[in-house]
């Protein structure tokens, strides 16, 4: 190593810009572990506090992409584009489980490299780990084979893809450095660029359950991701979407898989979840030239969901990655269940007026459904089901949700946490006050 890691940290700590060579050298040290855990954490905190310019973010993204293997799909001669979607994270966000198969049913190929939970948000891989036998870490050849045959494969980072990000991602989760625009941008895009995509749609959350709690923060993050991605040659569109309440009716790993399978098999379910899945799918079809116009894209994704074509792709993916061949038909038999299930009574009558969505996510973690430390294991059975949407009228004692817990004590703590997370008002809230999609951002906006 031709430089001292502590000097790079010091320069960023003091607010100085870093060169491409400096960033590339530090990232190489993260990847080959010649830089210690403490120095990785210090670098993350320095970037969190001091930020990075757009140019530095491009350098960081490029270095992390180049830290490992980069996939090329041309040899497979796929009859459609390689597209993907990424969410900045939220509570109850199981969109990827539905959207990946939906896109495959519309003619796209979806090599989706997902992450584990970060902070108060759930991770797609943690959800998939609740499916018996499902392998979230296949080798690259198996990954390519499943993408070609099933049309989609949702897996985690292999040791070969963006290894610097894998290590930095884990450190950020436990050092309060998750909510950094340059670090989020580089983390997301390094994996996506390494996956060899031809188009990406970002779901940037805003609200009480998002890292970007205000629309202004979400817009800055969306513009950073779209700008850096387009600058790196990856056509990208972002939707800024609402996370002021959990997405769907469940929060917790196995519970979210069950909700996703139900929507795939019936074409129905929570309105906000369904609308968001379809909105993102439309953007992806347009980006991949799989529909002539927006109306055609809307018709195509609606048909793929309601006919069961998307469910068939999900079943093919699960089976090809080691899960049960009949998982979609028998999900309730295969998914693990918590031994304690208790209703969460509403403490008063009125309307659900607001939700501290982050607190809901933290309650899931408190139940054991997320990590406090990198090495923590996850209880896939715990969480909440039957979560009510904002605006619901309640009588005192009506269930706000059902808590799924390992013990009665844990259930009691989660009940208190959920009751505190919801605000019950006496006037019916305006259903149109918080639109699901706040804004659409393209490369022209950055």
Predicted local confidence at residue 3, as pLDDT: 76
Helix axes 20-32, 163-173, angle to 10 degrees: 80
Structure tokens of 425?
Answer: 């008002």
Structure tokens of 77?
Answer: 């001669």
Over 80: is that where the pLDDT of 370 sits?
no
Angle made by CA atoms 224, 100, 438, in degrees to the nearest 5: 40
| Among 62, 116, 166, 172, the one annotated catalytic | 172
Q: Mean pLDDT over residues 97-122, rounded?
A: 87
| Among 61, 65, 87, 206, the one annotated catalytic | 87
Predicted local confidence at residue 146, as pLDDT: 97
Instruction: Check if 96 is active-site.
Output: no
Q: Mean pLDDT over residues 148-169, rounded?
A: 90
Dihedral of the alpha carbons of 57, 58, 60, 61, in degrees to the nearest 10: 110
- Domain of 371, CATH number, reads 3.90.1170.30
Co-location of 314 and 369 in the same domain: no
- Domain of 45, CATH number, reads 1.20.970.10
Predicted local confidence at residue 372, as pLDDT: 64
Which H or E run includes 437?
strand 437-441
Predicted local confidence at residue 354, as pLDDT: 93
Domains contained in the chain, number: 3
Instruction: Check if 124 is active-site.
Output: yes
Q: Are 421 and 356 in contact (CB under 8 A)?
A: yes
Closest CA to 188 of 150, 215, 162, 151: 162
Predicted local confidence at residue 431, as pLDDT: 57
Co-location of 78 and 18 in the same domain: no
In angstroms, the Cα distances linking 403 to 20, 354, 414, 437 are 49, 19, 7, 29
Which H or E run includes 50?
helix 37-50
| Among 116, 192, 313, 438, the one annotated catalytic | 192
Co-location of 308 and 180 in the same domain: yes
| Among 12, 62, 85, 127, the one annotated catalytic | 85
- Domain of 90, CATH number, reads 3.40.1030.10
Co-location of 94 and 110 in the same domain: yes
How much of the chain exceeds pLDDT 90, in percent? Answer: 80
Instruction: Check if 84 is active-site.
Output: yes
Predicted local confidence at residue 367, as pLDDT: 94
Cα distance between residue 40 and residue 6, in whole Å: 10
| SS3 state of residue 392 | coil
Q: Are 189 and 225 in contact (CB under 8 A)?
A: yes
Question: What are the pLDDT digits (tens) for 237-248?
Answer: 999 999 999 999
| Among 84, 93, 270, 356, the one annotated catalytic | 84
Q: Are 253 and 130 in contact (CB under 8 A)?
A: yes
Over 90: is that where the pLDDT of 167 sits?
yes
Co-location of 400 and 271 in the same domain: no
- Quickly state the pLDDT bin for 371 (edges 50, 70, 90): low
Instruction: Check if 167 is active-site.
Output: no
**Residue 204 bridge partners (DSSP):** 240
Angle made by CA atoms 198, 200, 201, in degrees to the nearest 5: 150
Question: What are the pLDDT digits (tens) for 215-234?
Answer: 999 999 999 999 999 888 89
Instruction: Check if 337 is active-site.
Output: no
| Among 12, 61, 65, 86, the one annotated catalytic | 86
Which range marks the domain in which residue 347 is found?
337-425
| Among 96, 136, 187, 236, the one annotated catalytic | 187
């Amino acid at each position: 190593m031709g430089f001292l890691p502590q000097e790079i940290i010091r320069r960023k700590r003091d607010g100085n810009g870093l060169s491409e060579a400096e960033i590339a050298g530090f990232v190489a040290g993260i990847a080959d572990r010649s830089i210690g855990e403490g120095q990785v954490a210090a670098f993350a905190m320095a970037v969190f506090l001091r930020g990075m310019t757009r140019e530095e973010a491009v350098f960081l993204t490029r270095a992390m992409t180049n830290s490992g293997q980069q996939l090329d799909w041309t040899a497979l001669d796929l009859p459609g584009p390689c597209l993907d979607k990424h969410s900045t994270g939220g509570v109850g966000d199981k969109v990827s489980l539905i959207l990946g198969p939906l896109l495959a049913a519309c003619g796209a190929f979806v090599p989706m490299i997902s992450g584990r939970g970060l902070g108060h948000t759930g991770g797609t891989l943690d959800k998939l780990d609740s499916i018996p036998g499902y392998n979230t870490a296949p080798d690259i050849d198996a990954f390519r084979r499943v993408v070609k045959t099933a049309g989609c494969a949702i897996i985690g980072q292999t040791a070969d893809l963006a290894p610097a990000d894998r290590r930095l991602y884990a450190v950020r989760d436990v050092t309060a450095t998750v909510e950094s625009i340059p670090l989020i941008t580089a983390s997301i895009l390094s994996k996506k660029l390494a996956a060899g995509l031809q188009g990406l749609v970002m779901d940037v959350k805003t609200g009480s359950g998002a890292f970007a709690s205000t629309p202004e923060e979400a817009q800055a993050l969306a513009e950073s991701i779209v700008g850096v991605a387009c600058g790196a040659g990856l056509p990208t569109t972002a939707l800024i979407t609402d996370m002021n309440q959990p997405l769907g009716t469940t929060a917790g790993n196995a519970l979210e898989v069950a909700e996703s399978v139900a929507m795939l098999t019936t074409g129905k379910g929570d309105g906000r979840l369904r609308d968001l899945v379809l909105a993102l799918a439309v953007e992806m079809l347009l980006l991949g030239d799989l529909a002539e116009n927006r109306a055609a894209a809307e018709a195509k994704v609606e048909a793929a969901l309601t006919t069961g074509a998307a469910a068939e792709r999900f079943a093919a993916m699960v089976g090809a990655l080691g899960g049960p061949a009949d998982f979609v038909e028998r999900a309730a038999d295969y998914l693990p269940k918590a031994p304690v299930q208790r209703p969460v009574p509403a403490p008063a009558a009125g309307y659900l007026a607001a939700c501290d969505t982050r607190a809901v996510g933290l309650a899931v973690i408190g139940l054991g459904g997320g990590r406090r430390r990198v090495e923590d294991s996850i209880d896939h059975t715990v969480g909440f089901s039957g979560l009510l949407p904002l605006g619901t009228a309640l009588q005192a004692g009506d269930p706000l949700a059902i808590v799924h817990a390992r013990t009665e004590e844990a259930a009691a703590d989660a009940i208190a946490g959920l009751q505190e997370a919801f605000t019950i008002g006496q006037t019916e809230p305006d259903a149109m006050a918080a639109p699901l999609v706040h804004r659409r951002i393209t490369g022209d906006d950055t």
